[in-house]
Amino acid sequence: MDLQLQGKRALVTGGSRGLGFAIASELCDEGARVALLARDAETVERAASTLRSRGYDAIAVSADTSRDDEVDAAVAKVTEDLGGVDILVNAAAKAAGGPPTGFQDLDDDALRTEMETKVLGYLRCARAVAPQMIDRGWGRVINISGLNLRRTGSMFGAIRNVSVVAMSKNLADELGPHGVNVTVVHPGLTLTDGVHEMIRAGASDRGITEPEMAKNLAQDVITGRLVEPVEVAHVVTFLCSPLSVAITGDAVAVGGGQLGSIHY
């Protein structure tokens, strides 16, 4: 299937590693020109260099998405270097994790940081690219959220992810008449480098093998295994495509399916 992404210009935040890098790589595979954005200039340039070494058109830009001025400057640079931004993938956020914490013990400042980065950070980036998408009458915004919103135990993870969904639906309703689709993707626990490290540490602590530890973590996954980053990237890349025109304002779960739950 031709996803009609040849020559499209994509900005992927959080693009230096993990899901963001996997998504950027997949977009490059489909012929898109890609800008990777992350806070650490050296790390993001290294990631972009890796893509260029594979023959792809990729650039790096460093910015902290919790700062208005840095986001505006980064989008201006990407627009100048690529000639515009057709696609925005928001993935710049710290992965939720750690043991469940009772609400009495939560750090309010930690929640403020989560909201500033994942919710307002996503909004800043969308706000910076939306005018040019509106002018062209076409665009795609995909916000990476997460399946923590469907369960208790990670209060901050749930709050921020639900907020991303609400924000995205509002953006979809406002931007849709201008040809801009906005969707949300909910990964579950995904086999990024960070999760592989978590599996190694957990297996060592429990005295079991890493495959056993991974299987334990996937006990409530319908497919019986954790999802690979590239499998999330396949879904996101389709949502970036002109072929995804019938999908907007909604969320797509990409965690391998959750046993015992009905979502509608």
Q: pLDDT tens-digit profile of 136-159?
A: 999 999 999 999 888 877 788 888
Residue-level pLDDT at 14: 96
Which of 212, 214, 222 lies closest to 196, judged by CA?
Answer: 214
* Verdict on whether the full-model pTM lies above 0.85: yes
DSSP 104-123: GG--HHHHHHHIIIIIHHHH
Counting every residue written for the chain, the total comes to 264
Say how many C-beta atoms besides its own lie within 10 A of residue 37's C-beta. Answer: 33
Q: Are 187 and 258 in contact (CB under 8 A)?
A: no
Domains in the chain, ordered, with CATH? 9-190+228-250 (3.40.50.720), 191-226 (no CATH)
Q: Between vectors from CA 141 to CA 253 and to CA 9, what angle results, nearest 5°?
A: 125
Contact 87, 9 (CB under 8 A): yes
Task: Give the model's pLDDT for residue 97.
Answer: 57
Instruction: Dihedral sign for Cα 82, 84, 89, 91, please.
Output: positive
pLDDT, position 245: 97
Task: Tell me which residue of 233, 241, 247, 76 sits closest to 168, measured CA to CA.
Answer: 247
The whole-angstrom separation of Cα 234 and Cα 27 is 9
20 HSE (CA, 13 A, CB side) = 29
Phi, psi for 152 (deg, rounded to 5): -90, 175
Q: What pLDDT was estimated at residue 100? A: 62
**Which pLDDT value is given to residue 99?**
58
Could you say which residues of the chain have pLDDT below 50? none
CB 156 within 8 A of CB 115: no
Q: What is the pLDDT of residues 197-211, one digit of tens each?
A: 999 999 899 999 999
Q: What is the pLDDT of residue 156?
A: 83
Q: Are strands 87-90 and 139-144 parallel, antiparallel or unpaired?
A: parallel
Q: Give residue 261's pLDDT.
A: 83
